[in-house]
């Protein structure tokens, strides 16, 4: 049985996503293990002290802790998972359009958002190394507060599990394999 590492199942989104994988015949695990096909990290933590606007000042300690929780810890898990990955070799992370330079509407919470932007850059570098080894990368924005979390989880499941695309000229989704893209719950590409 193929395995899916899923970082959490406590949220409505995480529980629904785990349920979809189980229904499809996958074993959902909470720690990297041999036979892992999917690595899915749902970490997206806001911290106390990180809700300040630029005018109020950014709490450097909260920003550093947001970076540790949202970037360092998930990347440590990913590093531990690489040797165990077989099958689809799909690396998936939650994303947020509010970490986008172009689409952000955020007026506070910059520690978490700076951490997300840093994660995207690190994943771009990682992708450049691991793409040739058969790994693919997916970033998904569940549109918290805008989309129903169960429907967003259903959309994430479809996006995470869909087949790899070739780079043929008629393939509208070919960029998903060669580039690191963020897609939202409606399937739109989010510039970051």
Q: Which domains does the chain have, with CATH numbers?
A: 3-190 (3.40.50.720)
Residue-wise pLDDT tens digits, 8-67: 999 999 999 999 999 999 999 999 889 999 999 998 766 666 666 666 777 778 888 888
Encoded tokens for 148: 């129903």
pLDDT for the residue numbered 176: 62
Whether the Cβ atoms of residue 45 and residue 8 lie closer than 8 Å to each other: no
Residue-wise pLDDT tens digits, 129-170: 888 888 989 999 999 888 999 999 999 999 999 876 554 555
Nearest-angstrom CA–CA distance, 42 and 16? 12
The angle, 0 to 180 degrees and rounded to 10, between the axes of the packed helices 149-161 and 12-23 is 40
Residue-wise pLDDT tens digits, 79-119: 999 899 998 899 999 988 776 655 566 666 667 777 888 88
Predicted confidence (pLDDT) at residue 175 exceeds the cutoff of 60: no
pLDDT for the residue numbered 159: 92
The SS3 of residue 20 is helix
pLDDT for the residue numbered 113: 76
114 vs 25, 91, 101, CA distance in Å? 36, 21, 10
Whether the Cβ atoms of residue 109 and residue 46 lie closer than 8 Å to each other: yes
With cut-offs at 50, 70 and 90, classify the pLDDT of residue 177.
low
pLDDT for the residue numbered 90: 93
Predicted confidence (pLDDT) at residue 126 exceeds the cutoff of 60: yes
Rounded to 10 degrees, the C-alpha dihedral 10/76/118/9 comes to -10
Encoded tokens for 153: 């989880």
Specify the pTM.
0.86
pLDDT for the residue numbered 23: 98
Whether the Cβ atoms of residue 39 and residue 25 lie closer than 8 Å to each other: no
pLDDT for the residue numbered 70: 87
By C-alpha distance, which of 136, 45, 50 is closest to 94? 45
pLDDT for the residue numbered 150: 97
């Amino acid at each position: 049985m193929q395995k899916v590492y899923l970082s959490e199942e406590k949220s409505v989104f995480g529980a629904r996503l785990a349920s979809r994988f189980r229904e499809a015949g996958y074993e959902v695990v909470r720690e990297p293990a041999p036979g892992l096909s999917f690595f899915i990290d749902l970490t997206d933590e806001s911290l106390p002290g990180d809700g300040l606007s630029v005018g109020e000042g950014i709490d450097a300690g909260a920003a550093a802790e947001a970076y540790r929780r949202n970037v360092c810890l998930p990347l440590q898990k990913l590093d531990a998972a690489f040797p165990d990955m077989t099958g689809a070799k799909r690396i998936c992370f939650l994303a947020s359009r509010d970490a986008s330079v172009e689409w952000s509407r955020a007026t506070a919470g910059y520690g978490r958002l700076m951490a997300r932007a840093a994660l995207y850059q690190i994943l771009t570098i990682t992708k450049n190394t691991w793409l040739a080894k058969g790994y693919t990368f997916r970033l998904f924005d569940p549109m918290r507060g805008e989309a129903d979390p169960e429907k967003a989880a259903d959309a994430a499941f479809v996006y995470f599990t869909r087949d790899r695309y070739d780079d043929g000229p008629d393939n509208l989704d070919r960029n998903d394999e060669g580039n690191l893209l963020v897609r939202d719950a409606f399937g739109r590409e989010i510039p970051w």
